[in-house]
Amino acid sequence: MNFFNSPLIKTCAHSAYSVSLKREMRRIVLVECGLDLLTVALSYVYFEILVLRGAITKANRKFCAGACIILAAKVNDVKGAALAGLIEVG
C-alpha cells in the first residue's frame, strides 16, 4: 500500500507551504487591492508552475509569490494607481 502512495507524496510535497501562502495572495489581491478574481487565479497558476519546476524554496517563496501577483496583474492590464497600490502592499 505504501508503494502506491509514494509517487503521489513526492509530487504533492509542495502543498504544505503553498496553501497558506495562496490564502495570503488572495487576501492581498482581493481585499487590500480590490482587483478581480482572474488576477488571483492567474497568480496561482504562475506560482504552481514555479513550484513544480522546483524553483521555490522556503527562503524565496514570498518573493516569488509577489512576483507572480504583479505579473498576473500586468497580464490582466492593471494600470495606474491600482498597480502602484499592489506594488506597495505586496
Its domain, for residue 12, covers: 2-89
73 falls in which pLDDT band (50, 70, 90)? very high
pLDDT of residue 1: 46
pLDDT at 47: 93
The tally of domains found in the chain comes to 1
pLDDT in tens, 25-39: 899 888 888 889 999
Which residues, including other chains, have CB under 8 Å from residue 71's CB and lie 6 or more apart?
A: 43, 46
